[in-house]
Homo-oligomer: A and B are copies of this chain.
């Protein structure tokens, strides 16, 4: 059996109250007593039962983190940063992969409430708005509109694909395709399509939208891409994420289409992983670390000062274009 507070008290030869006073550091305490208690705690390898403390009204220091999947490097890196920053503030995370599954997301939401988490960071959304409103806990969202009471952090998606489109145009392409997630109403990521469309209009080109669901398997995506590359005469592709862009590069290699000479490609996300293992890909870099910081900071602010009204509902962080060989021909 795990030692408890009274065991420490006995061991240290003091009262339970004193031990609690030492742990929570209040009231009058002599250095000598503190030392004795700490000593006893160490000897017994004592850890205060956090359930009991939380039951008494203290924070659980648990944060629910809901994302569709961590197999995607973007989410993996984001979650890892979030975990890190929360750890530095003494919080732990309960990781929830919703798998874009309504039931699982609902179940997790219930579990998080039952476990009295102090707050939630969500990067997924399949449920109705009222389900999120009913949660009654501080929530911050990444890139999804959960309800009008929940603040959203996102990258400048609009500017992102605008930049990408312009880059491809400047590199010489005139048949520029948009490849990625089809429309979902109300989410910030829709702006990626808009950014493309606006820029294409400005450039007086014809828009070409080739929809591929984000959740589709890579094999099916590849098939669809192959069709795009063979049956259409695209010379530039704006992708809504890097992985799709990688598939495009792969397909182009197989079809002996020279990149960037015959085909220019820009991805979206710009994870460390892509930058390191696919340095040839031009991409729109989302500021993952800033996103993580902001999500964590806003959430902790909401937790510590729940009574204060929300300062802002939308936080849009700047993106950068990382120019590389998929748009820029480097003579060697």
- List the interface of chain A (C-beta within 8 A of B): 2, 45, 47-52, 54-55, 60, 62, 65, 69-71, 73, 76-77, 79-80, 83-84, 87, 92-97, 99, 104, 107-108, 110-111, 113-116, 134, 136, 218-219, 243, 246-247, 250, 272-273, 276-277, 279
Contact = CB atoms under 8 A, between A and B. Distances in A.
B83 A97 contact: yes
A70 B60 contact: no
A69 B71 CA distance: 12
A217 to B, nearest CB: 8
Nearest to A221: B276
Give the copy number: 2
A104 B87 contact: yes
A211 to B, nearest CB: 20
Main secondary structure of the interface of A (DSSP, over half): helix
Contacts of A276: 218-219
A80 B71 contact: yes
12 contacts: A47-B113, A50-B115, A69-B80, A71-B76, A71-B272, A71-B273, A73-B73, A73-B76, A73-B273, A83-B96, A92-B96, A219-B276
A93 B95 contact: yes
Contacts of A111: 50, 92
Contacts of A104: 87
Contacts of A71: 73, 76-77, 80, 272-273
A305 B123 CA distance: 37
A83 B65 CA distance: 13
A51 B247 contact: no
A79 B95 CA distance: 10
A269 to B, nearest CB: 13
Contacts of A115: 50-51, 62, 92
Contacts of A79: 70, 95
A95 B95 contact: yes
A114 B49 contact: yes
Contacts of A76: 70-71, 73, 76
B69 A60 contact: no
Given A49-B114, A76-B76, A218 B277 contact: yes
Given A70-B80, A104-B87, A115-B51, A94 B97 contact: no
A110 B136 CA distance: 30
Given A2-B136, A76-B76, A87-B108, 7 more contacts: A47-B113, A51-B55, A79-B95, A83-B96, A84-B97, A87-B104, A93-B95
Nearest to A65: B95
Given A71-B80, A76-B71, A51 B60 contact: yes
A3 to B, nearest CB: 10
A278 to B, nearest CB: 9
Contacts of A218: 276-277
A113 B1 CA distance: 12
